[in-house]
Structure 1
């Protein structure tokens, strides 16, 4: 038996995709029959089994799938070939896309950008509560129970709870910092070895990237959607979406002004 239907009279449009508001047809999990959910492109995006659900203003589209007991809510977007499953939660202004898999007890939130399983780490508090906590690489933020903040903020809060908790969380924060230093060294050495260069973008695109990175809640797809609101950016972005994504994620160089002169 289906657990929801698509409302054809309540839609959203994004880059050629039409998304439909969902409405629950029966009670399950924390959802009651008649509840309105978020937006999906088709029934392939959200399983009719178990308690998976898309809430509020969250969007799921493309070939993305949400299933098991996973939840997507807030202003989060899940798209591309991404999968969210298990007891995972994606919310806030997070973007999950590409071949990313968010699963288990992972909590991805804030303005995190997840494009692969390398972009987040889930740990378990095995010294007291037994709960899981998550680190997201793109925004360098930690989620542990009701806490959401930076590594230093997590350490300070943990020490305020107990010395044991503080020492344990501090060890995990330092572990992640060491892992990221190793990864940076590997990337830099690889770039030097193969001569890989950053993508080049025009100034009006660079300006919008910096604006969106400085604005609270903007992820990659939100930034692209923002750029589509300007004629010059939209025309450039129509043929350079991959370049924009690389610029957003890996950095860029700005083309010289005379490069665009006719």
Structure 2
């Protein structure tokens, strides 16, 4: 997506904004994922995401994000720690963890530093 396309999407009237020697919303292509901050998730969640996304030779498909978050479908490979992280909290925390999981899956992530 070019900068001008981003400006149009954001509803900006003036698609060229300058600050010093930098021009935003020009005709250059931008990788929007590089502009967005990555979510931070625990290491065990990152490992599970990578496990699910791996390519398996001679397999019809890899595990999708929807199936990866459903313990009833993935009971064989979903570690108990992941199931607890996604489901054993109050409703608000469960929703937050589901969103973090999906955003990490789709947009990338950083490993959350463990608290000592």
TM-score normalised by length of structure 1: 0.25
List per-residue Cα deviations over 1:62-100 (Å, max 9, x = no partner): xxxxxxxxxxxxxxxxxxxxxxxxxxxxxxxxxxxxxxx
Tell me whether 1:210 sits opposite 2:50 in the alignment: yes
* Offset, 1:206: 0.6
Paired residue for 1:224?
Answer: 69
Return the alpha-carbon distance in structure 1 between the equivalents of residues 31 and 46 of structure 2: 27
* Offset, 1:223: 1.6
Paired residue for 1:243?
Answer: 100
Return the alpha-carbon distance in structure 1 between the equivalents of residues 80 and 111 of structure 2: 19
Larger Cα-atom Rg: 1
* Offset, 1:186: 4.7
Return the alpha-carbon distance in structure 1 between the equivalents of residues 82 and 41 of structure 2: 11
Q: CA 1:214–1:186 in 2, change beyond 3 Å: closer, same or farther?
A: closer
Q: Equivalent residues in 2 for 1:60-79 (5 A)?
A: none
- Contact 2:54-2:62 within 8 A present in 1 as well: no
Structure 2, gaps ≥5 residues long: 1-28, 56-60, 88-93
- 4+ long deviations beyond 3 Å: 226-229
Structure 1, gaps ≥5 residues long: 1-181
Give the secondary structure class of the aligned counterpart of 1:197. coil
RMSD over aligned CA atoms reads 2.6
Q: CA 1:207–1:249 in 2, change beyond 3 Å: closer, same or farther?
A: same
* Offset, 1:188: 5.1
Give the secondary structure class of the aligned counterpart of 2:40. strand
Q: Which has the higher contact order (CA 8 A, sep 6+)?
A: 2
List per-residue Cα deviations over 1:121-154 (Å, max 9, x = no partner): xxxxxxxxxxxxxxxxxxxxxxxxxxxxxxxxxx
Q: Equivalent residues in 2 for 1:133-148 (5 A)?
A: none
Return the alpha-carbon distance in structure 2 between the equivalents of residues 230 and 206 of structure 1: 12
Report which of the two has the higher share of strand.
Answer: 1
* Offset, 1:246: 0.2
TM-score normalised by length of structure 2: 0.51
* Offset, 1:230: 2.5
Return the alpha-carbon distance in structure 1 between the equivalents of residues 105 and 63 of structure 2: 11
Paired residue for 2:8?
Answer: none
Number of positions where the alignment pairs a residue of Structure 1 with one of Structure 2:
72
Paired residue for 1:142?
Answer: none
* Offset, 1:255: 1.2
Return the alpha-carbon distance in structure 2 between the equivalents of residues 188 and 244 of structure 1: 16
